[in-house]
Amino acid sequence: MTGPNIIFTLKIAVAAVSLILAASLVCLLMGKYRWHGRLNLVFFVLTLSAVLGLEAIIRFVDPSIFEYFNDDDRRKMNVHLGFSIPSTILLPLMLVTGLSRRRRGHVILGCLFLATWVGTAYTGIVWLRHTP
Ligand code: HEM
């Protein structure tokens, strides 16, 4: 398990869950709210597992995993974190407001969440280097 391997795996995971999120938004446009909710429950569990898994690896398994990053990589990682941290904070709020059907709050937070998620996916998949 190397840093580049972990980054590559996470890129695949982010692309996969982004497809689930996109499908949930299509359901929303079609008025299928229940399916939107179910897909997003899957999105929530998978995304949270990836975040917690990565945290566990960085903190407990091998803290030196990103030592292959140079200064430019670190700058890009900081921009990426500028999107991914707000997105991780908004994620549980999305689930709670969705499940309790607080539609106004859910849609307003949804716009913010979508912006932070697009930033997370773009900077994560395109910017972060997964070659040694
Ligand atoms: C990204 C933009 C999103 C928008 C614009 C959006 C919008 C909506 C809307 C309009 C509803 C129907 C609310 C109602 O019935 O009054 C809904 C329901 C719901 N949403 Fe979202 N949503 C978004 C993302 C998410 C995310 C990321 C999650 C979970 C992490 C989520 C979870 C849910 C759940 C659980 C429901 C209830 C479904 C049901 O009726 O069974 N949504 N959403």
37-53 in b/e burial notation, b at 16+ Cβ within 10 A?
Answer: bebbeebbeebeebeee
pLDDT of 55-83, one tens digit each?
A: 999 999 999 999 999 999 999 999 999 99
* Residue-wise pLDDT tens digits, 20-61: 999 999 999 999 999 999 999 999 999 999 999 999 999 999
Ligand 1 centroid – CA 85 distance (Å): 21
Task: Answer whether 38 contacts ligand 1 (Cβ < 6 A).
Answer: no
Position 132 in a domain: no
- Measured in Å, residue 47 CA sits from the centre of ligand 1 at 16
Q: Is the CB of 22 under 6 A from ligand 1?
A: no
User: What confidence category does residue 1 fall into, taking pLDDT thresholds of 50, 70 and 90?
Assistant: confident
How many CA atoms does the CB half-sphere of 42 hold within 13 Å? 15
User: What total of structural domains would you count in the chain?
Assistant: 1
Instruction: Tell me, yes or no, if the pTM score tops 0.75.
Output: yes
Whether 32 is in a domain gets the answer: yes
Task: Give the percent of the chain with pLDDT over 70.
Answer: 100
122 in any annotated domain? yes
Q: Is 124 exposed, middle or buried (0-12, 13-18, 19+ CB in 10 A)?
A: buried
C-alpha 21 to ligand 1 mean position (Å): 11
Full residue range of the structural domain in which residue 122 is found: 3-127
Q: Please state, in angstroms and rounded to a whole number, the distance separating the CA atoms of residues 56 and 129.
A: 21
